[in-house]
């Protein structure tokens, strides 16, 4: 039998090493940007479901546990007149989170990995409404980057 040697070949890691599920702990927020932890938790759940092969599971059933903490938030706005925030020329946002991933035995697979997302908006007529609209988009970008990080560690 000439082709018999290839019958057991499988690409990738062995089935015992395959991580199939993840539990996402509620995101912690140590930054000065309010109301971002809930938004990032929701965006992270969507990003993992849509962009990774991992399944979301309960805390006791999952192969891995993900902890995310928002550690830095930066916002810069440029105006014609620093006293006038009604006409803003541009807004720049940057957010940084640290991700820690544990297996079900408590071994650390990823420790405090920093992930950053940024976003720029130009010619805003209402500073506050544009900021409120930008935060969910910024959290979505950060969530997709965290999802990509999870894929790349395996």
Mean pLDDT of all residues belonging to the chain: 81
Asked if residue 124 belongs to a domain, the reply is no
Asked if residue 69 belongs to a domain, the reply is yes
CA–CA gap between residue 71 and residue 145 (Å, rounded): 16
Going through 18-135 in order, the beta strands assigned E by DSSP cover 21-24, 28-29, 55-56, 64-79, 88-103, 108-124
> CATH no. for residue 137?
3.30.160.150
Asked if residue 106 belongs to a domain, the reply is yes
CA–CA gap between residue 145 and residue 137 (Å, rounded): 13
* Nearest CA among 60, 65, 29, 30 for reference residue 48: 65
pLDDT at 16: 43
Is the pLDDT reported for residue 154 higher than 90? Answer: no
- Tens of pLDDT, residue by residue over 115-141, are 999 998 776 566 666 777 788 999 999
Asked if residue 1 belongs to a domain, the reply is no
Question: What is the rounded average pLDDT of the residues 60-70?
Answer: 95
Structural domain including 45 reads 20-74+95-117+131-152
- Tens of pLDDT, residue by residue over 84-95, are 655 656 778 899
What pTM value is reported for the model?
Answer: 0.78
């Amino acid at each position: 039998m000439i082709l018999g040697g290839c019958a057991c070949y499988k690409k990738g890691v062995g089935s015992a090493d395959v991580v199939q599920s993840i539990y996402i702990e509620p995101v912690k927020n140590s930054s000065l940007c309010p109301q971002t932890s809930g938004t990032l938790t929701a965006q992270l759940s969507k990003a993992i479901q849509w962009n990774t092969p991992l399944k979301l599971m309960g805390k006791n059933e999952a192969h891995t546990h993900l902890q995310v903490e928002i550690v830095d938030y930066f916002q810069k706005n440029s105006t014609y007149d620093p006293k006038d925030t009604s006409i803003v020329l541009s807004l720049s946002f940057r957010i940084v989170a640290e991700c820690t991933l544990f297996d079900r035995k408590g071994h650390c697979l990823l420790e405090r990995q920093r992930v950053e997302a940024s976003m720029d908006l130009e010619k805003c007529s209402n500073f506050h409404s544009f900021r409120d609209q930008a935060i969910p988009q910024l959290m979505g970008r950060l969530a997709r980057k965290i999802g990509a990080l999870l894929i790349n560690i395996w």
